[in-house]
A and B are shown apart, each in its own frame.
Chain A
């Protein structure tokens, strides 16, 4: 039985288009595959909770925070504007990060990238295996909740690995363009791997969607 994400929160236009402060509400993107599609590497139960509960909550909370922020801005209430910042970063980052993550994974994934991306990886990390080791180590080493990232440094024209805390979005906080993210919040793996984050990391390489990572890389280089 299909258990495709059915939550199609449609985009709602708030106030008239073009008027100051008008914006569309954010919505939960559908998964490009069924909840069970990434088994045995990531369980259906995890995928369903992760997408339909965690990501959905970031989306809903982001919309709520943006609404409050606009009100505070109109009233000149800087105290509230600053007080809302953590919520904007957390929920906005959560929405951005997970939207990227679902596309970074695929039931047809795994193996190695090809062509330009592979060449760039070899150039910037020495070999694919060294890159994989490094991203794994950085992801495993995140203290608490966060993400491991392969990003693109536009200023230097090179690939770079970085870790972010909580839901801090890679680009907004470091300037690196996100290519591949690895969610290491416990909700991403705990039900299946418990505290053994390294086992989750071993498994996830089997479902990395290199086509998507390559698309993102090629888009950066324009």
Chain B
């Protein structure tokens, strides 16, 4: 029996197209496969809950937060704009991440991210430049390239590749 995601929250246009601040509501994308398609690696029960409950909640909450954000923006209420940020990041991020995720999965699996090994760092704490460059950090950046020790950066790079 098919258990394809049936929640087709359609895209609704809010205010007239082209008017400032108009936006479409976000909607839950359909899965490109049945809930049971990834078994035995990921169960159908997980896929159904994950998609139709968790991801759906991110979508609904994202729409709600964006509405509140627009109101705060119109009122010039920067305090509320900032207070809403965690909700925007969490639910917006949740929607983006899961939308990508469903397409990243198939019965054949995915890859892994890698960490960064530092080779060259540029300190931009104000104490590193202020007495000379004051607020003009870009001038400091222009200057510092004259004193980069490429021998050292190369040593570090070679050590990584072992």
Query: Is there contact, CB below 8 Å, between B96 and A82?
Result: yes
In the complex, the answer to whether A89 meets B85 with C-beta atoms within 8 Å is yes
Question: Do A20 and B19 touch across chains, with their CB atoms under 8 A apart?
Answer: yes
Q: B residues within 8 A CB of A89?
A: 82, 85
Residue of A85, A144, A169 ringed by the most chain B CB atoms within 10 A = A85
Q: A22-B74, A85-B89, A186-B126 are in contact. Are A76 and B23 (CB under 8 A)?
A: yes
A41 at the interface (CB under 8 A from B): no
Chain A interface: which of B30-38, B101-109, B128-136?
B128-136
- Determine the chain A residues whose CB is within 8 A of the CB of B93 once the complex forms: 82
Q: Mark A48-62, 1 if CB is under 8 A from B, else 0.
A: 010001100100001
Say how far B127's CB is from chain A's closest CB, in angstroms: 5
Pick the residue among B24, B78, B88, B92 that contacts A95 (CB under 8 A): B78
Contact B88 A85 (CB under 8 A): yes
Main secondary structure of the interface of B (DSSP, over half): helix
For residue B69, which residues in chain A have a CB less than 8 angstroms away from its CB?
Answer: 73
Give chain B nearest CB distance to A154 CB in angstroms.
13
Q: Are B73 and A66 in contact (CB under 8 A)?
A: yes
- Which residues of B are found within 8 Å of A95, using beta-carbon distances? 78
B145 contacts across to A, CB distance below 8 A? none
Interface size, B (range): 35 or more
Asked if A70 contacts B81 (CB within 8 A), the reply is no
Taking residues whose C-beta sits less than 8 angstroms from the other chain, chain A's interface range is 35 or more
Interface residues of A in 42-100 (CB under 8 A from B): 49, 53-54, 57, 62, 66, 69-70, 73-76, 78-79, 81-82, 85, 88-89, 92-93, 95-96
Chain B nearest CB, measured from A25 CB (Å): 10
Whether A23 is near chain B, meaning CB under 8 Å from some CB there, is yes
B19, B83, B126: the one contacting A172 at CB < 8 Å is B83
Inter-subunit contact A70/B89 (CB<8 Å): no
Query: Are B74 and A20 touching (Cβ within 8 A)?
Result: yes
- Which residues of chain B come closer than 8 Å to A21, judged between CB atoms? 19-21, 70, 73-74
Choose one: A15, A85, A144, A187; the contact of B20 (CB below 8 Å): A15
Most chain B Cβ neighbours within 10 Å, of A20, A69, A92, A185: A20
Interface residues of B in 21-76 (CB under 8 A from A): 21-24, 26, 62, 66, 69-70, 73-74, 76
Contact A78 B62 (CB under 8 A): yes
* Set of chain A residues within 8 Å of B92, measured between Cβ atoms: 78, 81-82
> Residues of B with Cβ closer than 8 Å to A?
15, 19-24, 26, 62, 66, 69-70, 73-74, 76, 78-83, 85, 88-89, 92-93, 95-96, 125-127, 130-131, 134-135
